């Protein structure tokens, strides 16, 4: 009978450890979700730069900016992306 008690104690310890790990994972997931919500849906820096370039191109196409401004801002964005201009 005494050995059965030890097995039960060991089982309770394993189950407690398992519950603690599960709770830690839940907390980590909740933290990740809350940090993503705080970002406001902004993607990676690369995605943000491509979005800026798309807006810049649209502004040029609509005649909102001149060629010189477009080229200057395009070069800035491409440098941040690590692309070479040809």
* pTM (predicted TM-score): 0.47
Tokens of 56: 């810049």
Regarding whether 68 and 33 lie in a shared domain, the answer is no
pLDDT digits (tens, 9 = 90+) for 1-30: 455 667 898 899 999 999 999 999 888 888
Regarding whether 37 and 54 lie in a shared domain, the answer is no
Regarding whether 71 and 49 lie in a shared domain, the answer is yes
Domain that holds residue 55: 45-81
**Cβ–Cβ < 8 Å for 78, 70:** no
- Please list, in sequence order, all residues whose beta carbon lies within 8 angstroms of the beta carbon of residue 59, skipping any fewer than 6 positions away: 65, 70
Regarding whether 57 and 36 lie in a shared domain, the answer is no
Regarding whether 34 and 3 lie in a shared domain, the answer is yes
Tell me the percentage of the chain whose pLDDT exceeds 70.
80
Regarding whether 49 and 33 lie in a shared domain, the answer is no
């Amino acid at each position: 009978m005494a050995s059965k008690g030890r097995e039960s104690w060991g089982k309770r310890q394993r189950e407690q450890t398992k519950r603690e790990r599960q709770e830690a994972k839940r907390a980590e997931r909740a933290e990740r979700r809350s940090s993503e919500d705080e970002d406001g849906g902004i993607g990676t820096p690369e995605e943000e730069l491509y979005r800026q370039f798309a807006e810049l191109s649209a502004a040029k196409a609509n005649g909102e900016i001149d060629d010189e401004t477009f080229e200057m801002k395009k070069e800035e964005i491409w440098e941040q992306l690590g692309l070479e201009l040809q």
